[in-house]
Amino acid sequence: MTSPKTANETSATAELRREYRYGALSEQDVSADPLQQFTRWFDEAARAQVLDYSAMALATSSGDGPSVRTVLLKGLDPRGLRWFTDKGSEKGRALRANPRAELLFHWRELDRQVRVRGTVTELPDDESDAYFYSRPLGSQLAAATSAQSQGVASREELEARYRTLSDTHSESVPRPQDWGGFLLQPDQYEFWQGRESRLHDRLQYQVVDGGWVIQRLQP
């Protein structure tokens, strides 16, 4: 039997809502190229000072099932969207097993979301090197210290490893062999704009016969 407290908490959560009034999204106003449209919205999020506007949820799927986590966009161009991580991490292993993934950007302050789906490939070593050595020394040390997603006995053990590395590397750290970049090459985008009464706007771009086709989706 559900306790009164749990029932009340569930009711309170169910009643959470607000109206979305920031804008609209029409086929006439968007670019025919989804990368241009994404760049336009990305720049608007920057100008609106959306906190962590480059943050994106990365969803993967492997034999263990789906998983999702937040990573940071570190570049985009006609090739696709890229980010960097430990390739031995859970997400790295999942992408090697199944190189299909989806990214989600949520810009709450603008009532906007963008989903980007596609095939993921690993970036070449020279691009991984260029980004790794552009990072602050502390970030390099952290990447070299941590075997991401692997268990560790204690926080103290992790910090001890960090101190040992920092004592011997005062300017830069060799890039770990399994640390590098991934590139998602999109074959589908979806732009979502919140609207009043939950009658939202959703425009989907899909590759058809080598070109992008725009379709409006029901909310």
Give the pLDDT confidence of 127-145 residue by residue, as tens digits: 999 999 999 999 999 998 8
Active site positions, annotated = 198
pLDDT tens column, 99-122: 999 999 999 999 999 999 999 999
Q: Where are the domains of the chain?
A: 19-123+181-217, 134-174
Alpha-carbon gap, residue 56 to 54, rounded angstroms:
6
**Residue 142 corresponds to which tokens in the numbers above?**
């952290």
Greatest CA separation for the chain: 61
Q: What is the pLDDT of residue 34?
A: 98
**For residue 206, with 0-12 CB atoms within 10 Å meaning exposed, 13-18 middle and 19 or more buried, which class applies?**
middle
In DSSP terms, which residues pair with 56 in a beta bridge? 71
Alpha-carbon gap, residue 6 to 3, rounded angstroms:
5
Q: Which CATH number fits domain 19-123+181-217: 3.40.50.970, 1.10.3290.10, 2.30.110.10, 3.30.540.10?
A: 2.30.110.10
Q: What's the pTM value of the predicted model, to 2 decimals?
A: 0.85
pLDDT reading at 10 higher than 60: no
